[in-house]
A and B are shown apart, each in its own frame.
Chain A
Amino acid sequence: MTTSGDPEGTTATGGPDGATASPAQEGLADQFAQWRHYVRRRPELQQSDAEELEDHLRGSVDELVVAGLRPDEAFLVAVKRLGGLDELSREFAREHSERLWKQLVLTGGTDDPDTDTRSRRDLIAMIICAVGAAVSVKLPELFGLGFQQDGDSYAPNFALFTLPWLAGYLAWRRRTGRALIGVMVALFALGAVAANVYSLGENSQSLVLTTIHLPIALWFVVGLAYVSDDLRSSRRRMDFIRFTGECFVYFVLIALGGGVLTAFTVGTFQAIGIDPEGFIANWLLPCGVVAAVVVAGWLVEAKQSVVENIAPVLTRLFTPLFTAALLAFLVALVWTTAGINVEREALILFDLLLVVVLGLLLYSISARDLLAPPGLFDRLQLALVVSALIIDVLVLWAITERITEYGTTPNKAAALGENVILLANLAWSAWLMLGFVRRRTPFAALERWQTGYLPVYAGWAWIVVLLFPPLFSYL
């Protein structure tokens, strides 16, 4: 340490000339900067507290220097007198316990004016985009397309009223280049064409498929906007996966709030003899949903590092439970020796099961320290993936038999295609995880595999939306 003063050092700074005082002052500034840095890492201590304490520290140092200490010695003594930061922040936390909770400051209230203006501009941009989404969802009504009467023609278009706005907001935040914006606009236009050009009957399977797959295809366009600062980066793609999970969680929370709002609106207005159902079905619900998507995206962007991500927490909770459920199912399947009843619903159910397993895998990857050694949780996850794979192979076996027997429909083809895509992903993931558990492959390989696979989902969604209707003669 600097205080273990050798006689030479003492004589050097002991001189009355200004030349030696200047480096000492500089060192002091460094020490103050370092101290500030430590203080700022405490959530209990805000910028203003740090400044106040620093002023205190400087007062203390000045007094000690006047008393005859060297600046660096004075600094050490003053810091010592201030007491440990642990104790100090504990005392601050007792007065400001809210700081440990409420750290997501949406706009204003932070100490840094730069952050303030940025978050305010974000807020304004978000409001513009959310209002834009709400307005755009009502625009077709001007041309005589009611939301309730023409629900079927509305349904496949729904994502087109909200996701372009979210993508626009993200592109604005990332200052996306013109070329990429052009690509995104073209893709949204393509989506609009796919949703409206084919003349599909009201009961058409393809209409339902488009309604399900177009939002997925367009969500990956949003992803394009999200990763626009670095398209090829695996890390950025992983961020997009995190963004997707958090966005979903926030959207569900907002939707719950919206449900409460709707219930109260209906109840109170009915109490005075007005029936608000038309307003809710035509205005509140569609506008609310499309705006909520934009708000959810903005919330995730705003809070990012401030609040713990919830999706990985849910993953942690449910991975053991899902593993247990799947293993129990496998045991029961073997025990009863009854085959799987492969109706169409069964295939969709098992598709969804694979999606859930993949989700559990993705979100635990998203929260994992890449360098940590394999642990119990990784083995558990391997068990989950393997049991899901076994179940799925059994289902696939049964379904292919059926399709070769009765011929195919759009629904079956789509469900089968998705099943194969998910199966391929999970099979290779299981292989990589096995290598990881046996310490043969690094964990990063699994992450790269998952992020590299993302375009496959997008590609498949676009195929279903664009090629299936003509392929199956608009069935």
Chain B
Amino acid sequence: MKVTKDLVAASATPMVLGILADGESYGYAILRRINELSDGELDWTEGLLYPLLHRLERLGHVQSSWQSVPGERRRKYYRITNSGLAELAEQRRQWDTVVSALKAIWVDPGDVRRSATTPLGGLA
């Protein structure tokens, strides 16, 4: 099973902000973390991640800084800002609403049929 592109895109912002809320990180590590958390089910590409990071930076939700790492390389680290934390809280509230609503609808497979038939019963 692969999660659809739309759903990946919709959940991208809270996911990145959530990971950065644990501490600063860089692109490759963020992608690895998302892969670990979703067991590879979320199909994230670099073309999704980096422009998203740049947009969050433009909106002021994250700040970036270049740091040198072993091997004569520079790495761009991202750190969440206060406005990013606020955004994360807001997104979280929205996602909680969506998730709890979905959960209420899909309590368990047996209930699915019952909840689907109830309205009909009410009409009858």
A binds B: yes
Residue numbers of A with Cβ under 8 A of B are 48-49, 51-56, 58-60, 82-83, 87-88, 90-92, 94-96
Residues of B within 8 A of A82 (CB): 46
Pick the residue among B31, B45, B51, B69 that contacts A95 (CB under 8 A): B51
Most buried by A among B45, B46, B73, B74: B46
Is the CB–CB distance between B73 and A58 below 8 Å? yes
Is the CB–CB distance between A91 and B55 below 8 Å? no
Q: Label chain A's interface by main secondary structure.
A: helix
Give the Cβ gap from A299 to chain B, nearest Cβ, in Å: 29
CA distance A417 to B47 in the complex (A): 64
Does B28 belong to the interface (CB within 8 Å)? yes
Q: Apart from A51-B76, A56-B31, A83-B47, what 19 extra A-B contacts exist at CB < 8 Å?
A: A48-B76, A51-B74, A52-B76, A55-B26, A55-B69, A55-B76, A56-B46, A58-B71, A58-B73, A59-B29, A82-B46, A88-B46, A90-B47, A94-B51, A95-B51, A95-B52, A95-B58, A96-B51, A96-B54
Q: Label chain B's interface by main secondary structure.
A: helix
**17 A-B pairs whose Cβ atoms sit less than 8 Å apart in the complex:** A49-B50, A52-B50, A55-B74, A56-B31, A58-B73, A59-B29, A82-B46, A83-B47, A90-B47, A91-B51, A92-B47, A92-B50, A92-B51, A92-B54, A95-B54, A95-B55, A95-B58
CA distance A82 to B55 in the complex (A): 20
Give the Cβ gap from A61 to chain B, nearest Cβ, in Å: 10
Give the Cβ gap from B29 to chain A, nearest Cβ, in Å: 8
Is the CB–CB distance between A56 and B47 below 8 Å? no
Residues of A within 8 A of B55 (CB): 95
Residues of A within 8 A of B31 (CB): 56
The residue in chain B whose Cβ has the minimal distance to the Cβ of A85 is: B47
The residue in chain A whose Cβ has the minimal distance to the Cβ of B45 is: A83
Give the Cβ gap from B27 to chain A, nearest Cβ, in Å: 5
The residue in chain A whose Cβ has the minimal distance to the Cβ of B31 is: A56
CA distance A52 to B57 in the complex (A): 14
Residue numbers of B with Cβ under 8 A of A are 26-29, 31, 45-48, 50-52, 54-55, 58, 69, 71, 73-76
CA distance A56 to B47 in the complex (A): 12
For the A-B complex, the count of residue pairs with Cβ-Cβ distances under 8 Å equals 53
Most buried by B among A54, A82, A95: A95
The residue in chain B whose Cβ has the minimal distance to the Cβ of A52 is: B76
Pick the residue among A55, A90, A91 that contacts B75 (CB under 8 A): A55
Pick the residue among B28, B51, B74 that contacts A56 (CB under 8 A): B28
Residues of B within 8 A of A87 (CB): 47
Is the CB–CB distance between B48 and A55 below 8 Å? no
Is the CB–CB distance between A55 and B46 below 8 Å? no
CA distance A92 to B49 in the complex (A): 10
Is the CB–CB distance between B45 and A59 below 8 Å? no
Give the Cβ gap from A24 to chain B, nearest Cβ, in Å: 16
Residues of B within 8 A of A58 (CB): 71, 73
Residues of A within 8 A of B75 (CB): 55
Give the Cβ gap from B98 to chain A, nearest Cβ, in Å: 25
Give the Cβ gap from A97 to chain B, nearest Cβ, in Å: 11
Residues of B within 8 A of A92 (CB): 47, 50-51, 54
CA distance A17 to B124 in the complex (A): 81
Is the CB–CB distance between B27 and A55 below 8 Å? yes
Give the Cβ gap from B34 to chain A, nearest Cβ, in Å: 13
Asked, given contacts A52-B50, A90-B47, A94-B51, whether A60 binds B28 with beta carbons under 8 Å apart, the answer is yes
Residues of B within 8 A of A54 (CB): 73
Residues of B within 8 A of A95 (CB): 51-52, 54-55, 58
The residue in chain A whose Cβ has the minimal distance to the Cβ of B57 is: A95
Residues of B within 8 A of A56 (CB): 27-28, 31, 46, 50
CA distance A96 to B47 in the complex (A): 12
Residues of A within 8 A of B28 (CB): 55-56, 59-60
Give the Cβ gap from A21 to chain B, nearest Cβ, in Å: 15
Residues of B within 8 A of A94 (CB): 51
Is the CB–CB distance between B73 and A91 below 8 Å? no
Give the Cβ gap from B124 to chain A, nearest Cβ, in Å: 51
